[in-house]
Each structure stands twice: as C-alpha cells, then as structure tokens.
Amino acid sequence: MWIWQQPEWPRGRLDTRPLMGTLNATLATVAPLVSQGGGLKTDQRLRLEATLLGEEIGASARLSGISLERGAIRTALHQALGLADEGEVRPVPPVVETFVDVTLEAVRTAFLPLGEAQLLEWHRRLAPQLPRSAGLVVGEWRDAPFEEVSGRYGLKRLRYRAPGDDRAAVSAELETFFARLEEEEPGLDGVGHLQALKLHAHWLALSPLALGNGLIGRLLLARWLTRAEGIMALQAEGELSALPDLEMLEAYAWRRQALAPVLVDAQGEWQALRETCFGRPAAPRSSLDAGLPSREPEVPPGDLAPWMRWWLLRLREGARLGQAHFSRVRRAERLWLEHARTPLNARQRELVLTLLERDDDAGVARSDYRDLVATSDPTAARDLADLTAKGVLKSTGVGRGTRYRLAALGGSGLGGSGLGGSG
C-alpha cells in the first residue's frame, strides 16, 4: 500500500497542532539568521551566501553519488557572484559550473513562477552527471514506472513505487502538482516552512523523473526555503498586505542556511521515514500463510506528521550550521582585513582558505599542507614558518607532532565585531 493509493493523496493527512512546539523551536533558530542577514552589506552577504551554497552544493552532489572538489565549488561560486577569490585561480570543471549555475538559478528565481520548462531544463543539465544516467531520458518526464530499489545484484529490495506507469498518467499527476504549486508556494498566508515541506513530500512521492528526483527535490526545497525565509525577512521589516514587486524581492532571494550537509549522516533515518510516510510493499506470503491476518501496517501510509517533524528537526540543525558559517565568514573577513598588507603566496592563501572552511581547531601538520598544495617538504616547511612568523598561524607541538592553526581561531582578537562593523 502506497501513499498515492490513499484517499487523501496528494496532500496526505496532517494535523499540525502536535507539531507546533517543534515548529516554533525551529523558527526561533532560523529567525536570527534572517535578522543577521538583513544587516549585511552586499559584498558581505554574497560571501556568506557563497559559503552556505558551497556546503549545500557539495553535500547535495554527494547524496547523489557525485564528488565535487571543494576548492572548485568555491572558485565557481566566487566567479558567479562577482567576488574576488582569495585563493589560487584554477580552472573549474564543467560539472561544478553546472551545479553552481543551476543552484543559483533556483535560488535567485525563488519568487518567480515555476513552470515545467524550467524544471526540465534543470534536469537536462544536471541529470547527465548522475551515476548510471547513460541510456535514460533526461530533460523529460518519465514514460515508464518508477521504482526505488536497494540492495546488491540478485538481492534487490523494492522500497517505493511511484504513481503513473506511462507519460499520460505522470502528466495527469503533474497537472495536480503544478496547480497546487500556484496555490501553496510559501507566501504571506500560512507558515512558509510547513508549506515547503508539504510540497517537497508531494514531489518525492510523485517522482516524475526517471532519475534524479532526490537531487531536483533538494533544489526545489532550497528554492522554497529561500522564499519562506525571504518573506520572514520582509515581515520583520514591517507589516505586509501583499508581496512587493519582483525587483524588490530579488534582494531577498538568497540562501541563509545549508540543509543538505545535515542529511548526509541521516540516510538510515531517511529511508525509515520514507517507508513510514510513503508506504512499503506487501511482505511476500507463502501457502503456509493462508488464513493468517494481513501484514499491512496498522497505520496506513499518508500521515505526514512524522515527515514534518523529522524535517523540522533537520532544518533546526541546518540553521545552527548557518550560525556557525556566519561566524566563519565574520572571522574570515576580519582575518583578511588584518592581513591585507601581509604578502602571501598562492599556496599559503589556499591553506588559509582551507582552514577557514574547516572552521575547527584541528590544524594541519606539515605533511598535510604539503599534500594539500602539492609541493615539496622543504617548501612546505618554509611556507609554514613564514606564516607563523607573520602571525597568520600559530604552532604547537614539536618535531613531527607540530601542528599549525589559524591564530584567529585561538583567541578573541577577530571575534569582537560583526560583519556589519568591518567597513
């Protein structure tokens, strides 16, 4: 029994009252991101967004089985956003450019109507990068049944079967989806985050593409959350009876948190959640089972309360990561201001950027740095000694146990003022 076989499809069953405590706690965690973002200058906001989108793109690609190099994502984002890249300028692989361009399109057009043509164009560009995409139609809706299976060859397990076995049936389902989209995309009425999560559930349960439904679904969720949080920012500035014109809204269409990174370590929970809410195939029965009670679950699929609660908790984790990224960008800007006249070569800049991105106190050994920038051991030793002498790094330990950390992370010298106060 599947969710789309229930009478409540496609909206499902949902009583929001038991969710209000979780929802309010999540919104309380998101609200500071919205208010902090409102006080940033354009360049500061773009640097924060580049950090957040870099995390989002890398993690979302990894969830789809694609590995994108972190430095290449950073370079592509800085180029697309018109930011100076402090690190070494390097060629950007086409696959990275594609992920960056499509993600920015999805976010920047968050307040524009979303049609089939735009969605299929994103799929046409992204799907060929996915594993096992060869031979499958991209940039079109599927024209065959969609089944999600897991397990190794010969021991496959059906996890989900989507509605619609041919193009006509899928098109009919999509008419309902796009009609719902016009009515329920986050707006002034209702709670935008709940609206976004309900639409996301509908998309994944429908799975109208032959492959890449999860990837496109994460892109859509990022778009809807951008829209919801942009409206939160507008409402924080004053009462609204209607949304302003698109030209004004464009300034609010940017990401304030990264969600995909928190999903990477939650795949087991995610699979269980899908089975709870979307349904599972009937257990095989043998002739020995004749006359025994049905093995169907006591609660039929379609109850979206567990779905909403799980995703609200993930959103809360994403908002906390957003706060950490906000602090990271603040420290990065203060560091570059403090060392604006400190001469650093391209290798040294790459190390500083890497340590800022990691945002921890683990530091690096000389061998780590040597491998990171692909240089010789003597050159690595000279670079690290130079950075330490200039006060960019601090060292601890002796001999091979020596580790180098950003001095900025070890004290309060760079943490006293926010991004808005750094000129």
Residues 325 and 51: their CA atoms lie apart, in Å, by 7
Beta strand 157-161 with 147-150 is antiparallel
Is the pLDDT assigned to residue 47 strictly greater than 90? no
Q: Mean pLDDT over residues 43-57, rounded?
A: 90
pLDDT of residue 305 exceeding 50, the answer is: yes
CB count within 10 Å of CB 149 equals 10
Contact 394, 15 (CB under 8 A): no
What single-letter amino acid sits at 150?
S
The tokens for 63 are 């969830």
Two tokens, residue 73: 């994502």
Q: What is the pLDDT of residues 124-159, one digit of tens each?
A: 999 999 998 888 889 999 999 999 988 766 677 899
Is the pLDDT score of 75 beyond 60? yes
pLDDT digits (tens, 9 = 90+) for 341-377: 889 998 998 888 888 777 667 789 999 999 988 899 9
Distance, in Å, from the CA atom of 42 to the CA atom of 166, rounded to the nearest integer, reads 47
CATH (residue range 342-421):
1.10.10.10
pLDDT at residue 196 greater than cutoff 80: yes
Number of H helices, E strands in the chain: 15, 4
User: What are the two backbone dihedrals, phi and then psi, of residue 159, each rounded to the nearest 5 degrees?
Assistant: -105, -35
C-alpha 230/C-alpha 243 separation (Å) is 11
Q: Residue 39 — very low, low, confident or very high, per pLDDT cuts 50/70/90?
A: confident
Same fold, 3-283+300-326 and 342-421: no
Structure tokens at 328: 């990271």
Alpha helix segments (H runs only) across 82-209: 94-108, 116-126, 167-184, 192-206
Distance CA 388, CA 412 (A): 18
Give, rounded to a whole angstrom, the gap between the first and last alpha carbons of the chain. 60
- Domain borders along the chain are 3-283+300-326, 342-421
Please give the share of the chain, as a percent, with pLDDT higher than 70: 90
Name the residue type at position 91. P
pLDDT band at 85, cuts 50/70/90? low
Written as six digits, the tokens of 302 are: 């379609």
pLDDT-above-90 percentage for the chain: 60
CATH for 3-283+300-326, options being 1.20.120.330, 1.10.3290.10, 1.10.3720.10, 3.40.50.2300: 1.10.3290.10
Per-residue pLDDT tens for 307-352? 999 999 999 999 998 888 777 777 777 787 788 888 999 899 888 8
In DSSP terms, 149 is beta-bridged to 158
The pLDDT, as a whole number, for residue 292 is 54
